[in-house]
Structure formats: structure tokens, C-alpha cells
Amino acid sequence: MADVTITVDGKKLTAPAGALLIDVCRKAGIEIPAFCYYPGLSLQAACRMCVVRQEKVPKLQTACTTTVAEGQVFITDSPEITQARKATIELLLGNHPLDCPVCDAGGECELQDMTFKYGAGESLYAEAKQHREEQQWSPAVFYDRPRCILCYRCIRMCGEGMDVWALGVQNRGASAVIAPNGGDRLDCEQCGMCIDVCPVGALTSGSYRYKTRPWEMNHVSTVCTHCADGCKVTLGVRQSNDGSAIVRADNRDKSGINGDFLCAKGRFGFDFVENPERLSKPLVRNAAGKLEPATWEHALRVAAARLKEVRDSRGGSAIGVIGSNVTTNEENYLLQKFARAVLQTNNIDHERTTDYSAFAHALAGHTGRSASLREIAAAPAILLIGGNPTEEHPLLAWELRTNVRLNRARLYIANTAEIKLERQAKAVLRLSANGYTHLPAYLGGSDAAIANTAFREALLAEESLVVIFGQEYRGAPVEELVQWGVNRPNVRFAFLGDLANSRGAADMGLLPSLLPGYVPVTTPGAFAAEYSGMPTAPGKTHPEMLAAAANGQLGALFIVGANPVSSLRSDPAQLKGTFVIVQDIFLTETAALADVVFPAASLYEKTGTITNTYGDVQLVKKGADRAGTKPDFEILVRLAGAMGVDVKALVPFGKTGMTADLGQSRGAQAGEADRHAVWLAARGLEPKLSPFDPLAALDEIERLVPAYKLDRPNLFGGNDATTDPGFVPVSALSGPDLVTPTHNGLFTSGTLGYYSDSLKDLQRHQTPARAETAAD
């Protein structure tokens, strides 16, 4: 729309015609208070806080419903307006309990802030306040009726934002209440978005309520450790006896790719870090065959000696290394470098959930064909093939819904089953059981296997298209699908994987035949300078490693954050003859069989980067701290050190020659020093004085992996930096399709979910509701 000029408080402002006055003012730094207005949700004009005076209009107008037009003149700050806002607050405070000292929202309450600003300090109300007992609607959501100011944000967020519609308003007038769909319980996706948008303490979180005061927390922006969408999450952390504990997770600054959004796992599933079964001491198997606590020095010495011995006596091929889907890029990179350069083996793999190597192979040489999540969120047309984002990729589902709702994006869905996102779809193609393999041919114009020309024609009429496909694709069909798209203009792709850094694990070369950036290990001279002595024959896959262990061919198996005994359903006896070293946060089935166990820090307790399934790289920051644990990066460096390796060749630290600590130890308590460090890091100037600083590894990743040309200021400013698999060398190989999707749902998250009481409670809450539906 054409720009218009309006005058607000004497200032000339330019904005597109038809924009909402409240947005125009806020953008210009003019504060307009509002309870009910919430960007992106439908307008209410119910709270009457945003009233302004428009010239030549008799009544005060609500800024949230006023659209700007040329020449309008507004006053947003005058005694009349202040009085109107003050009166509204006085009315609210008439019945609003002043239990701020015990209210979760105290200190973070919009009503408190407005009262402070407009000074409704005197109570004109003499009647007894109407009290109602607080209600628990689910393990996650509590409702305190008297605190509710009926702004309807929760109802709109649940309905419009989440497409769940689990909240309503009942009764009328002063008796009006927010009500859940299950009468006295909430049957929903438990995302907690209603709590997040509540401007007061009416909706509170089961995991956070009455735990702390907001000002006692430090807020650390990091990335969620659960699914592969990579939501930015703000951890509220507080000092505890064991270090610092996470007491809350939300999306406080709304600055990440997820904007407003966070799902149940991101919001409530952080409590695994506090699980009493958390490992906090290294364990070494004693002469009696029992794991017993040991010092770090002892455990490292035992593990290092054994690795060295096996390597030197039987060669690197007798050692296997299995990495993780939830460790950082730097850790993954370091692990495979350690395997290849130190242990001299390509027996390095991880539990693959998605065939990213096929994807990289297909896109190699085609730059600009990968879709970042931000691109998906703004794409005018999207084809979603397979998958069920609502359950497995809640953020993607949110972005797709929002894009359809606010931008009228056109969503096309091809799936064998009915999925919830079809409610937003413009067209749906129902596929038969093996329909996915036929789809590339169908898109290419063949009606042989799928007869639905209308769907295809609508798709082909789109000027640009983002194709998102699920784990149903692996191996050759991935290439066929991508091939169809790269032959057309303006088609981009995204591939849905499972875990927080599954994409990073593949990108960083936790693969037996591929180096970081999908460079084949057989490539002559590849990485020769950094990885001296690396074998050039492809190594074993992780099932092959386990099989080799069973056959007595594996002298040592080094496992970081993986649980192959459980995931491959291996017979524990298979590992009997192999020296097993495990780094993990819990004593998993695999760790329980190990000879040495190192207690690792979780993703919430370390610094580094991770890559979501769309190839967006984000900075992970240390929020919590758990005494006794160490980040996997540090354990690896120490292990290498204990093996007598030149650590500087492994981690190129200390190169800038700085001599002072300028804050590289980013911790929960870092303040000024932390900001300074971000400034330095963004410019590649940070001192990296310590070999434990993962950013030293990031420098090498950026140098060796062309897809990781990261926009550092963006990355270190807390935003997502995109990668482009188009920069993968065309020599890239497609690995064998050894893919086992985890299909974690809204409340499951593998091992982490198993140790999260919050998620287990939510699962229990959901179960009876689902059973009832089934019996109906």
C-alpha cells in the first residue's frame, strides 16, 4: 500500500496506508499501552487501554483498530488520555487481587507496569473482592480466575495461533470466565502458549508457579534441545546447590526464528537436567566388574590408555566411535576429527534419523535451493510431502499456519494419512501406501501412479514453491524429488529430520564415508593439513560396529550421547569383549555396560552452535550448570590430551595472541564481559585462549565446510544463520540409507523425554482423553 503521512503528538510519521495506528506508533517508539492487542492475532478493541485522541473525532479512538490515512492527526499523550487509562486500570483493580507478592507474574506483569505508569494508586472500591479458587486444568496450565482481566489473548492464541481452540469464554458481563474445553480440564497440545501471552498471572505454568521471583533469575537465550526445528528458548536460571538450575523456559524476547512460539517440550521439558539420576561423577568399572565413581583424572587416564593401546596394537580400524544427535556442531566436528586424526579410524557414525547425505548429494552444486525456516515462514506457496509437523515439528506447523493465516500462503499437502495441517491446506493429495516413491514422477507430469491433475496443475501454477518433505524419503527418491525441483525455477527444499542437531551431526561428518561438508573420505588430499594420518577408506556404520564388537573385531567403542544398545536392540553380551567408553548425561542402557563413563553436560549447559533440520545455525549458550559434569567438547579435548596428542593441532586455539580473559567463559552470570565477548566473536577477534573454547573449532568448520559460510554478527547476535548445502562438493556421496526416524511426538523426546517428569506428566494427562475419543 502507498505510504501516508500522519501526525502523532506533533511528530510526522510515514506508514503504509491502512496500517494499524498502534503498530505505527510502537514502531516509531511511541508507547501505546494495550492488554488485548497482540500482534498477529485478531483485533478485540476490548481493553480500551490504547485510546488516543484523533483530531475532529468526538470520542477517544482505540489505536488498535484505527487504520492510518493521509493527514490524520493524533494525540496519544494528554491528561484526558492518561485519565482514561488510569480509570480503566482502576476498574480492573476493583476486583483484581493484589496478591502480587506471591503471584508468578509479579515483576513481569503488564497490569503492574501500567498501574505503575498511570498511577491508579488509590483504591476507590470498598466491596469485598470476588474470590474463586484456582483451577488446575492440566499438569501444565493453572487458571486463577480473579486475576484474569479477560483480554482474550489466550483464547485467540489457542484458536488462531495453535488451531487448537481449546479455550473459550463463558457466561457474560462480570461473571465471564475463560473456560477449557474439557469442562474442568484442558485437552489440547499443552503448548503453554496461553500462559505465555497472559499479560497477568491468571494463567500460570505447572512447572514454574511459585518457584521463584522473576528478578531472581538470569535469562539466557539458547536453543531448545528437543526436536529438529531449533526454537530459540530463553532459560530462566537461578543459583542452586549444584550450580545453576533452570526454573523456566519461555520465549521471552521473541527474537528467534520461532517468534512467539514454543511447544510443550521446549517450555516444560527442560527438567531432565535436574533429574536425580543425572550423572555427576565419572565412573570406571572396577576389578569386581562394577562401575564405581572415580576422579576425572583417573577416568581419563584409563580411557586414554586403552584407546591408545588398541590403536597402537590393532590399528584404528579396531576402534569404533558413535556420536550424538544432540551435541553441538563443534563437538561433533571435534569428535570425528578425534576419530579420524587421533584414533585413525573412519569408524565414525551416529544414529541417523534422516538421510541428510542423500539430500546434500542431491543439492550439491545447486545453490539457493535449500529453504531456511524463515523462508518457509514467508513463502507464498508450500508443498508439504509426508511427515506430521503438528506432532513432530511443532514450530514448522506453527509457521505454516501463521503464514496461511496472515499472509494467505497456499499450502499443498501430499500425505498417505490425514494430518491436522490439512485444515490450513488449499489442496490435499491423498497418497496410497507407496505413493511417496511415485510422487516425483507425478510431479514431473506422469499420471501413471497418481491420478489427480488438479493438484499438480495448481502446484505448477505457483511462481515459487517451497517443498518440505519428511523422513518417508531416503536414498534415491530424495534425489528424484530434488531433481524435479532443481529443474524448475524458484523451487526450494527442506527435509524434515528428528533431533536437535541431527542435521549438524551429518553436516559435521559423523558418517563413516563422509568428512564434514559431505566430502568423501576417499577424496585425495581432503583435509590433509588438518587431519594428518587419516585413513582414506570408508569406515563402518554403527550397526556394523556393533556387529564387529560381537565378532570380537572391535577393541574399543567410544560412544558420545548415543544409546545403540537400546536403539539397535542389541544384546548386551555383544559388547562383552569390547572396551566401551560412554559420554552421556544419564546412565543409559549402553552406559551401564561401559568400562568408563564420563558425565556430560546437556545442551543447556554448554556453548556452541547447532543446526536445525532447515540448515539454520544458531548459537547455543550455557544456561544451567551442573556440578561434576563437563561439556562433551572439554571431555574430548581432555581425553585427547591424556592420550598425549598435541591439543593445538586438534583445536586451533589461542591464535590471535591475546593475553587477557575478555569474557570467553560465557556463563550464566556473565554480563558485560559476555556482551563484549559476543562483539569479539562476531568479528572473529575473540582470543580463544582455551582449548575448551568451542569457537576455536567453529573457525575451522567455517574454513573447511563451504556450506557453513556463517553470517557471524547475525549468529552471535542471537539470530539464525543459514547454511546452503548447494555448496557441498558435487563429488559428495549419498550414504547408505541407514535411517531410523524416532518420530518423537509432542511429549516424547527419546532419552531426554524419559528423564523429564514434566513431559511424562503431560503424557499421562493426555492419555485418558485420547482413550475416551477412541471409545466414542
Partner 1 sequence: MSSETMTIFSPKVAARFDALVQKYPVKRSALVPMLLYAQDEVGYLSDAVIADVAARIGITELEVRNVATYYSMLRFKPAGKFNVQVCTNISCMLRGAYDLFDRFQDELGVGHKGVTPDGVFSLEEVECIGACCWAPAIQVNYDFHDDLTPDQVPAILDTYRGKAKAEGTAAHA
Partner 2 sequence: MPKLVSHPDEVKIVTRRFGQGAANIDKYIELGGYDSAKKCLAQGPDWIINEMKASNLRGRGGAGFPTGMKWSFVPKQSPKAKYVLVNGDESEPGTCKDHLIFLHDPHAVIEGTIIAGLAIGSKLGFIYLRGEYRYLLEIMEKAVADAYAKGFLGKNIFGSDTEFQIITQSGAGAYEVGEESALMESLEGKRGVPRIKPPFPAVVGLYGGPTVINNAETIATVPHVIAMGGEAYAAVGSPRNGGTRLFGVSGHVERPGVYELPMGYNLKKIVYDVAGGVRGGRKLKAVVPGGSSTPVLLPEEIESLGMDFDQVGKAGSMLGSGGVVVIDDQTCIVEFALRTISFYQHESCGWCIPCREGTDWLKKSLTRFHAGFGTAKDIDNIQYLAENMMGRTFCPLGDAAAMPTLGFVKKFRKEFEDHLNGKLCPFAKHTELAVV
Contacts to partner 1 by CB under 8 A: 165-172, 179-181
Residue with smaller CB distance to partner 2, 119 or 577: 119
**What minimum distance in Å lies between the beta carbon of 42 and partner 2?**
9
Residue 155 interacts with partner 2 (CB under 8 A)? no
Q: Which stretch binds partner 2 (CB under 8 A): 7-15, 84-92, 471-479, 708-716?
A: 84-92
Residue with smaller CB distance to partner 1, 125 or 165: 165
**Long-range contacts, 167-174 (Cβ 8 Å, 24+):** 167/194, 174/95, 174/130
Residue with smaller CB distance to partner 1, 317 or 424: 424
- Reported as type and span, the H/E element at residue 650 is helix 647-650
Which one, of 78, 67, 76, lies nearest residue 34 by Cα?
76
Q: Which three cell numbers stand for residue 572?
A: 548386551
Q: Which stretch binds partner 2 (CB under 8 A): 56-64, 182-190, 519-527, 606-614?
A: 56-64
Q: Is-contact 237 218, C-beta < 8 A?
A: yes
Bridge-partner residues for 278, per DSSP? 586
3-state percent helix, strand, coil for the chain, nearest multiple of 5: 35, 20, 45
46 binds, among partner 1, partner 2, none (CB under 5 to 8 A by kind): partner 2
166 binds, among partner 2, partner 1, none (CB under 5 to 8 A by kind): partner 1
Instruction: Produce one character per residue of 18-30: b if its CB has 16 or more CB atoms within 10 Å, e if not.
Output: ebbbbbbbbeeeb
Residue 150 interacts with partner 2 (CB under 8 A)? yes
Residue 124 interacts with partner 2 (CB under 8 A)? yes
Q: Which three cell numbers stand for residue 11?
A: 511528530
φ/ψ of 205, rounded to 5, equals -95, 135
Q: Which stretch binds partner 2 (CB under 8 A): 92-100, 558-566, 720-728, 743-751?
A: 92-100
User: DSSP letters of 428-484?
Assistant: EEE--TTHHHHHHHHHTT--SS---HHHHHHHHT-SSEEEEE-TT--SHHHHHHHHH
Residue with smaller CB distance to partner 1, 178 or 414: 178
Residue 125 interacts with partner 2 (CB under 8 A)? yes
Q: Is-contact 606 599, C-beta < 8 A?
A: no
Which one, of 271, 268, 265, 266, lies nearest residue 240 by Cα?
271
Determine the Cα–Cα distance for residues 89 and 94; give it in Å rounded to an integer. Answer: 8
Residue 45 interacts with partner 2 (CB under 8 A)? yes
**What minimum distance in Å lies between the beta carbon of 773 and partner 2?**
25
Q: Is-contact 25 184, C-beta < 8 A?
A: no
Residue with smaller CB distance to partner 2, 42 or 767: 42
Q: Is-contact 354 613, C-beta < 8 A?
A: yes
Q: Is-contact 590 563, C-beta < 8 A?
A: yes
Determine the Cα–Cα distance for residues 704 and 686; give it in Å rounded to an integer. Answer: 20
**What minimum distance in Å lies between the beta carbon of 145 and partner 1?**
14
φ/ψ of 320, rounded to 5, equals -120, 145
Bridge-partner residues for 469, per DSSP? 385, 495
Q: Which stretch binds partner 2 (CB under 8 A): 41-49, 283-291, 384-392, 615-623?
A: 41-49
- Reported as type and span, the H/E element at residue 702 is helix 694-704
Residue with smaller CB distance to partner 1, 180 or 394: 180
**What minimum distance in Å lies between the beta carbon of 605 and partner 2?**
44
Q: What is the largest CA-CA distance in the chain?
A: 92
**What minimum distance in Å lies between the beta carbon of 403 and partner 2?**
23
Number of residues near partner 2 (by CB under 8 A): 35
**Which of the residues 170 through 189 are near partner 2 (CB under 8 A)?**
171-176
φ/ψ of 407, rounded to 5, equals -110, 5
Residue with smaller CB distance to partner 2, 60 or 733: 60
Residue with smaller CB distance to partner 1, 166 or 705: 166
Beta-carbon contacts of 293 under 8 Å, excluding residues fewer than 6 positions away, are 281, 282, 283
Residue with smaller CB distance to partner 1, 181 or 522: 181
179 binds, among partner 2, partner 1, none (CB under 5 to 8 A by kind): partner 1
Residue with smaller CB distance to partner 1, 159 or 380: 159
92 binds, among partner 1, partner 2, none (CB under 5 to 8 A by kind): partner 2
125 binds, among partner 1, partner 2, none (CB under 5 to 8 A by kind): partner 2
**What minimum distance in Å lies between the beta carbon of 107 and partner 2?**
23
Residue with smaller CB distance to partner 1, 152 or 473: 152
Q: Is-contact 538 521, C-beta < 8 A?
A: yes
150 binds, among partner 2, partner 1, none (CB under 5 to 8 A by kind): partner 2
**What minimum distance in Å lies between the beta carbon of 189 and partner 1?**
15
The residues that touch partner 2, with contacts defined as CB under 8 A, are 35, 43-49, 51, 58-60, 65, 83-84, 87-88, 90-92, 94-95, 124-127, 149-150, 169, 171-176
